[in-house]
Every structure is written in structure tokens, then in C-alpha cells.
Amino acid sequence: MPSYKAPLRDQQFVLHEVLGAVDALREMPRYAELDVDTVNQVVEEAGKFCEDKLLPINASGDQEGCTYDPATKAVKTPAGFKEAYDDFREAGWQGLAAETEYGGQGLPHLLQIAFYEMQYSTNQAWAMYPGLTIGAYECLLKHGSREQKDLFLPKMTTGQWTGTMCLTEPHCGTDLGMLRTKAEPQADGSYRLTGEKIFISSGEHDMAENIIHLVLARLPDAPQGTKGISLFIVPKFVPVGAGADAKVGARNGLYCGGLEHKMGINGNSTCQIILDGATGWLVGEPNKGLNAMFVMMNGARLGVGVQGLGITEVAYQNAVAYAKERIQGRSLSGPAAPDQPADPIIVHPDVRRMLLTARAYAEGGRAFAYWVALMADTQLSHPDHDRKKFGADMMSLMTPIVKAFMTDNGFLCASECLQVFGGHGYIRQWGMEQFVRDARINMIYEGTNGIQALDLAGRKILMDNGAKLRAFGRMVTEFIEENGTRPDMNEFVTPLADIGDKVQKLTMELGMKAMANRDEVGAAAVPYLRTVGHLVYSYFWARMAKVALERVKADGDAVDPFYRHKLMVARFYFQRLLPETATSIRAARAGSATLMELPADAF
């Protein structure tokens, strides 16, 4: 079975030394009393929960999977999942960042993201049950009526009731404008929903007493396309009573029609949900459902990006442990373990390349993801209007990068770490093949990575003439100007400045081409996102390198080796991974002709 230890040292480095998160959060009145000890205690206890409760049931959950009973339409989760969820609920973890008004702890979203990372490292399939509940909670918090919030949010905060999002239908995935599920208004103000949804994660299970589905559907007079979509609350059991005293009542007219047999995340119930005259209630305004659902979808995209981070970290940890123990061959520079018949494979340069790739993407991704979470808290809670807007702009800009860049990296790193094991990586007992299988879905669901690339290039950058990207660029420029004259920072600042200049020129070039031919955006979008992703990682790696250099300078020979190692990984990133942008920039500039000139019937 794979092993895992929460990366507390690096998490605390990012939280406190790189981001100064506590000071930043204390600028917000709701977090004025937050302190470093509280942050550390939450992260440490969260790590213990993941190590002790989630990791032991990950491999077994993957092998057992969920079980569907056609007679009762019920789904049983793998052994240990419900017990772990009960422990999770009893400890109050579900309400970590939820509003105190509804029984939550009211802690920053930043801590929720740190907890997410560890959950996804130890059991991605299990973590999706409470994770989707948080997304549904946040959607209702923003768009639900007072009555709806009072009824549903307390139960969802405690995890007594879980949540889902029901978007996809057999004939429409990305193009939600084609959805057919119908909602007929009733005399009592409710609606009767009829239709079929597929790929519904956590859609039916035995872990909670009720499941609150957020369903996209069409009203009878709805206009065609995405402008005619409304959002509805459709619970598995119709609640009886109000507020915290509400209880489950009669079974609603929806059921699980079957489970998908899939490549990975087998411990999560991916369901076909049949709505057969189910009772639902409108959320927000008619025909404005997609806007409301984007609260949950964007939150889910951030969560999926962190799934990529979590998989990268656990795959790295296990590959390192194996590389230190497995003996094969001799070091090219002479025996490293002359008392052994062979050397540990960690002496081989290419093994180190694979390990360092995973480590650099994990540590860079951690700094990036935690900063984005801090921007989420800034957007929601900062008292200064300009800071609040900056947080909102960065959340908007970075969401597709978090989702696509981090999950692309996660799959790459899981595969590379499997490769470290050689043939043993392909064997189930080591757990590496599960990481690869689980990581692959992250590039697909919550909007494929190709869609994220289109969103970044077309909507988040070109639609506002690059205003949000320039706002991030100003932060990068300030860092470069502040540190560009330091000789010890040259190896980090110079490549950062170079990629910043190249992104600026590439963006302008893409914008000019797009005015003549919109296919140019589609042709360039994926390599463009990879390029911008590296700009973002370069910035955070340069920031981390600066902190490490200052500690080495201050502490001299007595410095914690952690900081010297951080500098070594930073150098690897800039010299070995950032050069990918030479290829991605060239690909982005290649234009659409080579993609579009071949007739469809010639494929």
C-alpha cells in the first residue's frame, strides 16, 4: 500500500514565509483574531485525519468500488468510506470554512484548500463526497433565498446532508445550451422535473441521510441555448420542517439508474440520475441558472486543480521512497554503495529528473494554489474595494490555469513517478497505477482542459483586452524591479523577466490574429495556457527562492537544509521545466491553417 506524510514543512513555508497569509488575512475583519498557531494546528490535525483515516481505505476503495442494487436503486460505498465520513463529520471538518451563521467554523478558504490537497493525496474518490457538498453549499449561500439557506445550509454545513451538481446529459456535456431536462411549475410554487443526467459524482450513496442535487433544467417558456437554463434544488428526500429542525420526509421522484464503470476514482459513485417528476425549487431568477451554477463550477475547477497537486505530491513521495531502496545498476560515476550488489536507483540522473519534475511541480503548484485561495478570501472578505476587486480579477484569471495547468502536471508527474518503479509501477500492489488512473479524470471533468484553455485565452484575456493579465503582470514587474539588481537573484529574476516579456508579446500577437480569424484562438489556446502557466509558476518559484536565499544569508552554515534544498529545486525548475515554453510559444504561433486545412472527410 502506498505511504503518505502530510507535507507540513512545505505547507507552513508557503503559508507563513512566502505568502504571509496570517497577516494578509488579519486585514479582513472576520479573520482579525487568526494567528499562526491556529493555522498550524488546523493543518496538522487535517494531515493526521488524512493519513490515519483516508489513506488506509484508498487502495481498497479503488479495488472494491461502489455497488449498485438495481432493485432498490441504492448505492453502497466501499468498506470504510461511511465510517471515515462519520469521523469527518463528528470532528467538524465539513464546516471548516462555512459561515458560523449556519454552524460552520468560519475559517479562511485558504485552510480549506490546504485540507483539500491532503485529502486528494490520500483518497481522491472519498474526498469528492464532502467536496461537492461544499460547492453546493457555496452556490446556495450566494444565490439561494433566505428560506432555502435556512433549510439546507445548516445540514450541509454539518455534512448530515451532502450535495451534488447535475449538469451533464447524454447528448450534452460542454454545450449545456442543448440540455433537455424540463421543469414544470406547480401551483404550490414548486416545480416537477423530468429528464436524465449522467456523470453525476456522488449522485447516490449511503454516507448521508439526504443528498441535495442542484439541477439545471428548462422552464416551459425558456429561450433556446444557455439563456434559457434555470437552477433547481432537488433533494433525494423532500425535507419536512424548517431550519436546523428539518428532517427527511418522503422519497422524491428521482433515482440512480446505474453506475458508470470507469477508469479511476472507483470509490466515488458516478451516477446516472433519472428525474421522474421530481419536486424541485427554483434557485435565483428564472433562466439565470447557469450564472448561479458557475459559483459551484468555478469552485469545483479550483478543487480539481488541487486534485492534480495532491496526486503529484503522493506520487512523488512514493517514488522517492522506492528510488532510495531499489538497487539496480551502478552509478555512472562509480559505485555509490560498494557494499551492495548494485546502487539505489536514485543515483541515476534520469531517475532524479523524474523525481525533481514531480517535486518542482508540486511545490510550485502549492504556492500558486494557496495564493489563489488567499485571493478567494480577499475577494469575499477584504474591506478595501480595490483589494477586493484585485482578488476577484485574479480568481477569474487564474481559475482555468489552476484547473488545466495543475491537472496536466499532475497526470504527467503521476506517470513519471510510476516510471521510477519500472515494471513494479505497472503492478497494482504498489498503488502507482491507481494514481495515474485517478489523475487522468482531472484533465476531463469540470470542463476539459481544452475548454479551460479557450476560457483563458478567449474570455479571461482577449475579452477584456488583457486587463486582468496586465494586473498580474504589474505584480510580477514590481518583483523584478525590486530584485533585479541582486546578483544572487539573477538566475531566477532573469528568466522570469524573459517569460513575462514573451507572454506579453504572444498575447498581443494572438489578439491581432483573432480579429481576422477566431480559429486562431482555438489553435493557440492550449500551448498559450501552458506558457502562461509557466509564467505564473516562475513568479512563485522566484518568490520562494528569494525567501530561501535570505534565510541562507541570515543563518549561514547553521541554516535549515530545507532552504538550500528549496534553491536546488528552484534551479531545476528554471533550467529544466521552464524551457518547455520555447516549444509552447512556437506551437501557439503556428496558426490554425495546419489544423483546419485538412477536410473532415479526410481524417
pLDDT means over runs of 10, the chain (603 residues): 97 98 98 98 98 98 98 98 98 97 97 98 98 96 96 97 96 87 98 98 98 97 93 97 87 98 98 98 95 86 97 98 98 95 98 98 98 97 97 97 98 98 97 98 97 96 95 98 97 98 97 94 98 98 98 97 98 98 98 96 97
What length is written for the chain? 603
In the chain, residues under CATH classification 1.10.540.10 are 8-141
Looking at the domain covering 162-286, what would its CATH class be? mainly beta
Range(s) for CATH 2.40.110.20 in the chain? 162-286
Q: How would DSSP label each residue in 538-592? A: HHHHHHHHHHHHHHHHHHGGGS-HHHHHHHHHHHHIIIIITTHHHHHHHHHHT-S
Residue 27 designated active-site: no
Q: 114: closest CA among 97, 101, 137, 132?
A: 97
pLDDT of residue 466: 95
Beta-ladder partners of 210: 161
pLDDT at 582: 98
Nearest to 309 by CA among 135, 453, 444, 118: 118
Considering the entire predicted model, what is its pTM?
0.97
Q: Which is the CATH superfamily of the domain at 8-141? A: Acyl-CoA dehydrogenase/oxidase, N-terminal domain (1.10.540.10)
For residue 384, the model assigns a pLDDT of 98
* The C-alpha cell that represents 170 in the structure block: 447524454
Dihedral Cα 321, 326, 331, 335, nearest 10 deg: 110
Residues 6+ apart with CB under 8 A from 109: 97, 373, 376, 377, 380
Contact call for residues 230 and 217 (beta carbons, < 8 A): yes
Contact indicator for 39, 15 with CB cutoff of 8 Å: yes
Reduced to 3 states (helix: H, G, I; strand: E, B; else coil), residue 35 is coil
Beta bridge partners of 275: 195, 254
- List 169, 204, 313, 446, catalytic entry: 446
- What sign has the CA pseudo-torsion 266, 432, 368, 523? negative
Task: Please state, as a whole number, how many other Cβ atoms lie within 10 Å of the Cβ of residue 548.
Answer: 24
Strand, coil or helix: what is 231? strand
CA distances from 43 to 234, 266, 536 (A): 34, 27, 25
